[in-house]
Amino acid sequence: MQHLKKASSRLKNTLKKIKLPKLHKTHEKRVVQVAPPKPVPRGSKVIERYPLYEPFAHVAIVQNPKTGEYKYILDELQLDPLEQNIYSLVLDILLAEIDSPKEEIDDPRSFFATEARQIVDKYRISLGWLPDVSWYKILYHAERDLVGFGRIDALMRDPNIEDISCDGVGKSVYIWHRKFESIESNLVFGEDAELDNIVVKLVHMAGKHVSSAFPIVDASLPGKHRLAVCYRREITPFGTAFTIRKFREDPYSIIDLINLGTFSEKLAAYFWLCLENNASIMILGGTASGKTTALNALACLIKPGSKLITIEETAELNLSHENWVSLIARRSYGLGENQTGEVTLFDLVKTSMRHRPDTLIVGEIRGNEAYTLFQAMATGHGGMSTMHAEDIDSAVKRLTQKPMNIAPAYIPLMNTVLSIQRVHLTKDGETKAFRRVIEVNEVANYEDYRRIFKWQPTKDSFSCSFDESVMLPYIGERIGSSKRDLEEEIEQRAKVLHWMREQDIRSYKDVATVIAEYYARPDEFYGKVSLGEVAVATVKHS
């Protein structure tokens, strides 16, 4: 098989042109003993089953009757010894035989699946007889390992998983399930080489580099999934660790968050009015409380045509606006104190001012970039950002101390502060985790905060009072409207949001289309909404 000698050089060209993820020590990877996922524990009760990729991968959520503990059991078709031997040969053949496409392709999986089937059909007889089902399994594993995410590929296919976390060698992979929260899976990486190989593969898929010299990586995988890596035993005694925060292909819109109870219609309408008038908004919350999701959903309410600039360490925001510039920070190329090539959030915030943004959105502030952001808001730019803090008091303390050092006189530039948390509520006899906006405060002055909205846990609803609002009088003075007129405008927009919910218009692009139409002719559009005359087909994308 003379073509195998050219596998290495042809592999490089193929991966370069079709953007397949790079492999790390391909042959070493095959000699590593990969243990199959653990079976279902004895005595466990199956709570739920669903397919991930028919017929190759399924999942079962099981519960220990004694402890009540849940487990995530991945059931994936494994290769027997004969299939494994042929699979090793097939990998070499595929890597050598796949022709590089003339143009860059958007879907490596589809391209690979088509090419692999044709090549395997060509060599099936010479490789030895196997039933059709075995060949399907071999092709599935080849796609999983070469263009997919390796052993965690099935987990990446599960839309119910928010996070995937591996704490080291010999430790079970944990996942955060939308329904069952943090639970242990039956997937374990038994050897250092196996875990190191898959992490290097993931990092290369993200277009980054990881090594003993650079053991910490924070990057975005294809599909905008966020990857955090601690490599080998340089900074952790348990071996390589990684966490993947999965990105939804269809991001939550403001309508989705209203349907989930995170916002109310009136609360969303209030922010809609604030954003239209260049008010700055800061979203507070703990880890995984839903800050970025809320930020992305609220940004869809910004007036179409506005120039938006987003600044992030890793790309997570996904906006519907055409006039949008996304800026991403870059790590240094140097070692030690040498920061050659580094582009920080502070650098990006400064640079963004030269692009004349209408609204500047910083994914998260935690350093000296906060000072520049507040300077931008002082010049009249709208600003949105998130910050790790439980409430407005702790947020202001962080802002006024190192490394942010915001002067107390600048604090009122942060017009509106939204606090969001993950809470547990009992519904239909089950206690589940939900995300709720706990309260919304307007900043009248340093240490003078006016609560406008408050979540009521007993009723799972929001109370609202504009009696002490400082934003509505400020906006009214700018546009020549009374406070009463603005309250009526909020009620009107709340009805538009309610109408979208009734018509099941929930995609963030469809929501943006409705908002654009409302801005074009608000009175006419609202009149039709009130009479139920707006045709759904005019706002839903085909």
> Concatenated DSSP letters for 392-437?
HHHHHHHHTSTTT---GGGGGGS-EEEEEEEEEEEETTEEEEEEEE
Report pLDDT for 230: 95
Mean pLDDT of the residues in the chain:
86
Report pLDDT for 16: 42
* Residue-level length of the chain: 542
Report pLDDT for 337: 56
> Concatenated DSSP letters for 55-112?
TTEEEEEEE-TTT--EEEEEEEPPPPHHHHHHHHHHHHHHHHHPPPPSS--S-HHHHH
Give the residue carrying structure tokens 């466990």: 44
> Of 36-45, 439-448, 514-523, 529-538, which has the strongest mean pLDDT?
439-448
Mean pLDDT, residues 277-299: 92
Which runs of E-coded beta strand occur in 189-272? 216-220, 226-230, 241-245
Rounded Cα distance between 37 and 21, Å, is 24
pLDDT of 27 > 80? The answer is: no
Sign of CA dihedral 78, 84, 86, 88: positive
> Of 131-135, 259-263, 341-345, 508-512, which has the strongest mean pLDDT?
259-263
What's at 367, amino acid-wise?
Answer: G
Q: For residues 151 and 104, which has the higher predicted lDDT (pLDDT)?
A: 151
pLDDT of 43 > 90? The answer is: no
What's at 268, amino acid-wise?
Answer: A
Are 9 and 97 in contact by the 8 Å Cβ rule? The answer is no
b/e code 90-121 from CB counts within 10 Å (16+ = b): bbbbbbbbbeeeeeeeeebeebbbebbeebbe
Rounded Cα distance between 213 and 200, Å, is 14
Rounded Cα distance between 386 and 64, Å, is 39
Report pLDDT for 172: 94
Rounded Cα distance between 309 and 12, Å, is 36
pLDDT, tens only, 398-440? 999 988 989 999 999 999 999 999 998 888 777 888 999 999 9
Are 272 and 491 in contact by the 8 Å Cβ rule? The answer is no
Are 469 and 452 in contact by the 8 Å Cβ rule? The answer is yes
Q: For residues 273 and 247, which has the higher predicted lDDT (pLDDT)?
A: 273
Percent of the chain with pLDDT over 90: 53
Phi-psi region at 181: left, alpha or beta (left = phi > 0; alpha = psi -120 to 50): left
- How would residue 10 be classed by pLDDT, with cut points 50, 70 and 90? very low
Which domains, from first to last, does the chain contain? 1-36+78-148 (no CATH), 254-538 (3.40.50.300)
Give the residue carrying structure tokens 């922010």: 271
Are 281 and 271 in contact by the 8 Å Cβ rule? The answer is yes
Report pLDDT for 8: 38
Report pLDDT for 533: 58
Report pLDDT for 21: 38
Q: For residues 337 and 391, which has the higher predicted lDDT (pLDDT)?
A: 391
> Of 26-30, 139-143, 319-323, 345-349, which has the strongest mean pLDDT?
139-143
Instruction: Write out the two tokens for 520.
Output: 């074009």
pLDDT of 523 > 50? The answer is: yes
- How would residue 338 be classed by pLDDT, with cut points 50, 70 and 90? low
Instruction: Write out the two tokens for 28.
Output: 């070493």
pTM of the model: 0.80
Closest-CA residue to 422 (of 292, 257, 262, 298): 262
pLDDT, tens only, 347-395? 888 888 888 889 999 988 888 888 888 888 887 788 999 999 999 999 9
pLDDT, tens only, 70-98? 999 999 999 999 999 999 999 888 888 88
pLDDT of 4 > 60? The answer is: no
Instruction: Write out the two tokens for 69.
Output: 């503990």
Rounded Cα distance between 28 and 168, Å, is 20
Instruction: Write out the two tokens for 236.
Output: 């952790």
Are 361 and 259 in contact by the 8 Å Cβ rule? The answer is no
